């Protein structure tokens, strides 16, 4: 089986697990929705919300991503299947890319469900193009999933508390959150000064770096303990 | 961050020593404090087994 | 080594406080930069050293490399905290606020969190080989994101900053700055070496003892 086919197969398996357990996806979505509401309640005024709608979306997604990443390893955690991963007849990086791909898609699904809510709650009128919004969302989710899948495996195996993943992973994805939030907000506003390009560039750079790096490092973790 | 551009002149910020003194003392505390911490760690190994 | 570092620090600070003239715009408060800037340089250096240590460990799996990484990250974190506090001490009299989202300060905060995270990870793992391996693995993306984080924060604040280069800095001040930097460097090297030594002894103690060699009769 070629590497590429392996990756697709693994991604399919992961997604199948998600879909089969529909409760998980719904849980993610409602969690993010709850975060959205909390932020809206905590915000001083609706104009602040409107001006920072991108940020609101990405806080919700960031918090949802930690849950989603934890969950993506939950199946392997049961019955010690994590250790068994070493025995799979697949290359470690195929494993990584398959999982990371499925994590990206899961986040993307949550993101697209959240978007209309964010637009509604923050009372945003979308002046930019929708395809730009999609692009930022896609790159942002990919940017969250890439390091997240790597660190997710580490923290799943470590006997640390559930706070370990956010602690390790949040500082790392600061560039993603900044770029995606700023970029999305700019797109909502119609990007009068054409700044969204640089944020996009950053997102591409981050993704390029982390998707390649994490793929290389993943095998080492799967081998250990 | 303003850069260290030049010397002398007036109209500069006056005083501020209540910030400057701690700023100079702090590195000592940090360096020596950490050295002590490492020494304690080392001593835990010198203990007879 | 440590004594040399401390001596240099005394000299550097003395010069910073008394010998160097007050800065034009900042007055005496500018002297604080002599303690703050070297902390930034050396903490970044320590993290860089940790990064190379991590690469070394991944390729060679030598325990010495892991001990080295521990020393570098701990000292890096130490200096990182120092630089953040110093930054606040500097910010209050100059800008009137304890904190500002200046790109470099913000980056320092993010860097601190990243590497504290790596240290916390170490505590969660009991097996020394796994711990070493994961520390190295976690350190690599952590380090590499520093550059991207720097740019993202810089663009976020869109502050146009004059990076001070030696040409724009008065000679008497460059000297003091460099002297303090050397002091910090010497101290950092000393502390890293000490810490690494302890970590290495720890690692050796954790290895199971070799079975006794049978005498051939």
**A65-97 pLDDT, tens digit each:** 988 888 887 777 766 666 666 666 777 778 888
Compute the distance between CA of residue A207 and CA of residue A196 in angstroms, rounded to an integer.
17
> What pLDDT, on a 0 to 100 scale, did the predictor assign at position B2?
46
Q: Inter-chain contact B31–C6, Cβ cutoff 8 Å?
A: yes
Give pLDDT tens digits for C45-93: 999 999 999 988 888 878 788 888 988 999 999 999 999 988 888 887 7
Closest CB to C144 among A174, A209, A220:
A209
What is the radius of gyration, based on Cα positions, of chain B? 20
> What pLDDT, on a 0 to 100 scale, did the predictor assign at position C6?
65
Scanning the structure block, which residue is given the tokens 């700019």? A186
Nearest by Cα to A13 from A75, A92, A80: A75
Average pLDDT (C104-123) is 88
Scanning the structure block, which residue is given the tokens 């910030």? B19
Average pLDDT (C121-135) is 83
- Chains C and A touch, contact meaning at least 3 pairs of CB atoms under 8 angstroms apart: yes
Q: Inter-chain contact B1–C104, Cβ cutoff 8 Å?
A: yes
> What pLDDT, on a 0 to 100 scale, did the predictor assign at position A140?
92
> What pLDDT, on a 0 to 100 scale, did the predictor assign at position A221?
77
Rounded to the nearest 5 degrees, what angle is found at the Cα of A177, between the Cα atoms of C92 and A55? 80
Residue C20 lies in a domain: no
Instruction: Check: CB of residue C142 under 8 Å from CB of residue C114.
Output: yes
Closest CB to C127 among A161, A221, A225:
A225
Give pLDDT tens digits for A5-36: 777 777 777 777 777 777 778 888 888 899 88
Distance between the two ends of chain B, CA-based, in angstroms? 54
- Chains A and B touch, contact meaning at least 3 pairs of CB atoms under 8 angstroms apart: no
Residue C7 lies in a domain: yes
Q: Inter-chain contact A158–C134, Cβ cutoff 8 Å?
A: yes
DSSP state of B13: P
Rounded to the nearest 5 degrees, what angle is found at the Cα of C107, between the Cα atoms of A173 and B16? 155
Average pLDDT (A161-176) is 85
Stated length of chain B: 49
Instruction: Check: CB of residue A56 under 8 Å from CB of residue A40.
Output: yes
Q: How many domains does chain A have?
A: 1
User: In angstroms, what separates the C-alpha of A30 from chain C's closest C-alpha?
Assistant: 28
Instruction: Check CB contact of C13 with chain B, cutoff 8 Å.
Output: yes
Whole-prediction pTM value? Answer: 0.81
Q: Inter-chain contact B31–C205, Cβ cutoff 8 Å?
A: no
Q: Which distant-in-sequence residues (6+ apart) come within 8 Å of A100 by Cβ? A: A145, A146, A149, A211, A214
Scanning the structure block, which residue is given the tokens 């195929």? A94
Instruction: Check: CB of residue A149 under 8 Å from CB of residue A93.
Output: no
Instruction: Compute φ and ψ for C27, nearest 5 degrees.
Output: 65, -150
Residue of B nearest to C191 (CA): B35
Averaged pLDDT score across all residues of chain C:
76
pLDDT of A144 above 90: yes
> In this structure, what token pair is assigned to residue C87?
């930054």
Q: Inter-chain contact B4–C173, Cβ cutoff 8 Å?
A: yes
Closest CB to B16 among C25, C27, C102:
C27
Angle between helices A53-72 and A174-189 (to 10 degrees): 140
> What pLDDT, on a 0 to 100 scale, did the predictor assign at position A125?
79
Chains touching chain C through at least 3 C-beta pairs below 8 angstroms are A, B
Compute the distance between CA of residue C99 and CA of residue C92 in angstroms, rounded to an integer.
8
Instruction: Spell out which residues of chain A touch residue C123, defining contact as CB-CB under 8 Å.
Output: 160
Instruction: Check: CB of residue C108 under 8 Å from CB of residue C84.
Output: yes
Q: Which domain holds residue C122?
A: 2-14+31-159+170-202
pLDDT of A215 above 90: no
ipTM exceeding the 0.85 mark = no
Q: Which distant-in-sequence residues (6+ apart) come within 8 Å of B23 by Cβ? A: C32, C35, C36, C86, C89, C90
Compute the distance between CA of residue A172 and CA of residue A146 in angstroms, rounded to an integer.
11
Q: Is C160 left (phi over 0), alpha (psi -120 to 50) or beta?
A: beta
User: In angstroms, what separates the C-alpha of B1 from chain C's closest C-alpha?
Assistant: 7
Compute the distance between CA of residue A204 and CA of residue A197 in angstroms, rounded to an integer.
11
Instruction: Compute φ and ψ for C24, nearest 5 degrees.
Output: -60, -50
> What pLDDT, on a 0 to 100 scale, did the predictor assign at position C167?
39
> What pLDDT, on a 0 to 100 scale, did the predictor assign at position C213?
56
Averaged pLDDT score across all residues of chain B:
70
Distance between the two ends of chain A, CA-based, in angstroms? 27
């Amino acid at each position: 089986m070629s590497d590429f086919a392996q990756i697709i197969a693994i991604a399919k398996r992961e997604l199948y697990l998600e879909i089969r357990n529909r409760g998980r996806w719904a849980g993610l979505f409602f969690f993010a929705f709850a975060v959205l509401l909390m932020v809206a309640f905590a915000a001083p005024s609706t104009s602040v919300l409107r001006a920072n709608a991108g940020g609101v979306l990405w806080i919700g997604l960031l918090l949802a991503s930690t849950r989603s990443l934890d969950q993506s390893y939950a199946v392997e955690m049961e019955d010690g299947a994590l250790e068994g991963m070493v025995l799979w007849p697949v290359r470690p990086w195929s494993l990584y890319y398959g999982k990371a791909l499925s994590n990206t898609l899961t986040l993307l699904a949550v993101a697209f469900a959240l978007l209309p809510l964010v637009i509604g709650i923050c009372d945003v009128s979308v002046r930019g193009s929708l395809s730009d919004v999609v692009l930022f969302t896609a790159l942002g989710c990919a940017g969250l999933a890439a390091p997240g899948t790597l660190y997710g495996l580490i923290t799943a195996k470590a006997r640390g508390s559930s706070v370990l993943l956010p602690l390790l992973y949040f500082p790392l994805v600061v560039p993603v959150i900044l770029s995606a939030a700023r970029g999305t907000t700019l797109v909502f506003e119609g990007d009068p000064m054409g700044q969204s390009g640089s944020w996009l560039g950053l997102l591409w750079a981050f993704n390029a770096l982390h998707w390649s790096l994490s793929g290389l490092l993943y095998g080492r973790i799967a081998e250990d303990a | 961050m303003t850069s260290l551009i030049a010397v002398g002149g007036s109209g500069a910020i006056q005083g501020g020593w209540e910030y400057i003194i701690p700023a100079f003392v702090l590195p000592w505390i940090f360096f020596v404090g950490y050295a002590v911490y490492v020494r304690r760690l080392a001593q835990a190994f010198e203990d007879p087994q | 080594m440590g004594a040399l570092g401390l001596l240099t620090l005394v000299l550097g600070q003395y010069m910073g406080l008394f010998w160097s003239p007050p800065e034009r715009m900042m007055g005496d408060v500018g002297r604080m930069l002599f303690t703050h800037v070297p902390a930034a340089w050396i903490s970044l250096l320590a993290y860089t050293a940790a990064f190379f240590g991590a690469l070394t460990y991944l390729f060679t799996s030598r325990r010495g490399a892991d001990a080295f990484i521990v020393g570098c990250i701990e000292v890096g974190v130490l200096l990182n905290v120092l630089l953040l506090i110093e930054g606040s001490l500097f910010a209050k009299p100059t800008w009137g606020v304890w904190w500002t989202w200046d790109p470099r300060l913000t980056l320092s905060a993010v860097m601190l969190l990243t590497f504290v995270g790596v240290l916390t990870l170490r505590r969660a793992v009991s097996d020394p080989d796994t711990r070493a391996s994961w520390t190295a693995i976690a350190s690599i993306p952590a380090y590499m994101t520093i550059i991207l984080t720097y740019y993202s924060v810089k663009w976020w604040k869109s502050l146009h900053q004059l990076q001070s280069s030696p040409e724009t800095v008065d000679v008497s001040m460059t000297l003091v700055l460099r002297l303090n930097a050397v002091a910090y460097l010497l101290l950092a090297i000393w502390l890293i070496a000490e810490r690494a030594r302890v970590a290495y002894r720890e690692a050796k103690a954790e290895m199971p003892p070799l079975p006794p060699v049978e005498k051939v009769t």
